[in-house]
Structure 1
Amino acid sequence: MMDASDVIERATILVVDDTPDNLAVLSSLLKDEYRVKVASSGEKALKVAMAETSPDLILLDIMMPGLDGYEVCRRLKAEPRTHHIPVIFLTAKAEVDAEKTGLDLGAVDYITKPISPPIVLARVKTHLKLKATADFLRDKNDFLEHEVAKRTEEVMAIQDVTILAMASLAETRDLETGNHIRRTQFYVKALATRLRTHPRFAAHLDDGTIDMLFKSAPLHDIGKVGIPDRILLKPGRFVPEEFEIMKTHTTLGREAIEHAEHSLGTKVEFLTTAKEIAFGHQEKWDGSGYPQGLAGDDIPLSARLMAVADVYDALISRRVYKEGMPHEKAVEIIVQGRGQHFDPDIVDAFLAIQDEFRAIADEHSDSDADLKRKKDLLSISGTEMPAHQKATS
């Protein structure tokens, strides 16, 4: 088992002095306990220190031609690779100001000439022990930081999978495809990114918020899990009582997410955003939406972003009962809803990045297999195509 003394005995000491006799004396003093390297100038000392295998400690003279010891120390401490190497000034400059200057530059000790061999050996040993301890703590800290980052990444991956699993549960009971979930995620992120410098939204859309929006978007229709099949898949149009039940998917979604929060015993930021989206994405800018009939800025920003994303996707997407509407026609309908269904500034942002929306839709388009799976779902359920699903919004 290796102990601290083993580490110190194998330590490498760099001795820097422009006088050959001084180099010889110090090498002779140290060679029995340490590996010794020498440099006769500041320039050579920096090359040795910057080499692939750096010294464990440096004994550094101050008064040298070219780069003096102060400048060498300054450069060593400015370089990340050599910043942690302890420097002991070993010099004939005995003035208090000179010693203060050296210590201010980052040296760990200051020894004046003529040297006392026992003092030099004792201080070298002391500072090597301190360095060994510091290196151990730094390595352990790096290891712990790596482990924390790894565990955080794993938790985030589990979180993302859980969100998609919950969203997919709702999707299996509706006529949307799983790609609808992905598309709306990217639409919302694109809109938020575009609006992050807008005066109305800049204070609310930083990187963390945009990330939360992206994570939360798949849960916008989670409440459909609670809608009975007789209504969700009903042929024909809803009677008023049935439509009122259908509208409760927004409230059911919020309540499902709140239940998840209560089970965790703590508030989670992305779930707070998810609640806003689930509860508010059917609200309209003019107050004619549901469930609360909110208007304007009273509607959470997350829900206003999702409203545009959700309607656009409903318009352009293929379904088992319809072909997708051309992008240009969908854009026209979104523009018609400016100031009525949708926040005007969000519509303007949508118009500015409509080509990005089109690209997202193309990249995550519904495959024939997706549509067949939904058609099979209808066949298994024994229902006809619900007429209310044929609506464009």
Structure 2
Amino acid sequence: MQRIAIVGAGKIGGMIAAMLSASQSYDVTVLDRDQAQLDRLRGAHPVNRVRVDIDDEAALAAALSGMSAVLNAGPFQLTTRIARAARSVGAHYLDLTEDVASTRVVRGLADGAPSAFIPQCGLAPGFITIVANDLAKRFDTLHDVRMRVGALPQFPTNALGYNLTWSTDGVINEYCEPCEAIVDGRLQQTMPLEELENFALDGIAYEAFNTSGGLGSMCETLLGRVRNLNYRTIRYPGHAAIMKTLLNDLGLRDRRPLLKEIFETAIPVTMQDVVIVFVTVTGMRDGRLMQESYANHVRAGVIDGVPCSAIQITTASGICAVLDLLMEGGLPEKGFVRQEEIALDAFLANRFGRHYVTA
């Protein structure tokens, strides 16, 4: 049985622990600096719980010694520290970060590593990257690749049309940091919350706008092969206008701790959410202009006896499926591994990836 460490006992880390322990294929240890977080872990199957100061890299490395793989479910600010600790003990490393700068550091750590480094194994980047690359491979010539993801409350009740479903720090970061895109064949930086578009799925109106990090390494992969490539976050109409007022007009872009406090004080958490994945690719095939799309809704449910939000299910099942594929020999076992190297069919056939298969 493979020994697996999960760093971070929050909403996502706890869900990963529940999934892996329920599979009875992994000996799971969860590490966190907060004993209360460890005590709140739920699930029908036991996991090991270790309190460790994540800021102490020597202590963290000691706690990770002997692990086959380290799954980072901590906040994006700790990504590089946890990745360095995994590198020092020779363990495989997987994370969920959407932070572009952190991923660059992880890629550097992967150079010459005896183990695999697979960042961005969640929903976006992660699953949406796998889907987009699968669709893109079906074309002789690519024109446009549009990737859209949203984690939304099923029953919105405030002007933002939003409830907290995952990391507040992560949401703020993706609303504030520059975005990557390919525009007319050239790699460009675009501004978050811009290029607003409106659309409908199943009769429900949505908006989508630029946010940072969702493309993963797709710009590098498709540069020179696609005319336009972009990623946008899906929200209910009106959300972007309010966020631009908060961040730009009220200056909270430069006061992120205050914005986080406001969010976590005023916006309730919900477990009744829905994750929307929408990818559209256009291009030439057999001399004809063609379009293919992928649309999916994943809703909240119960895993291993634990009520789970849709964002917990999709994010945790993503990294668990990639871990399974790695341990089964289906992915490179050394160096940097991109999400685009994961086959969609293999992912969806995996016992964890099946959570994305809806009736």
Q: What TM-score comes out, normalization by structure 2 length?
A: 0.26
* Higher gyration radius (CA): 1
Report which of the two has the higher share of helix.
1
Report which of the two has the higher share of strand.
2
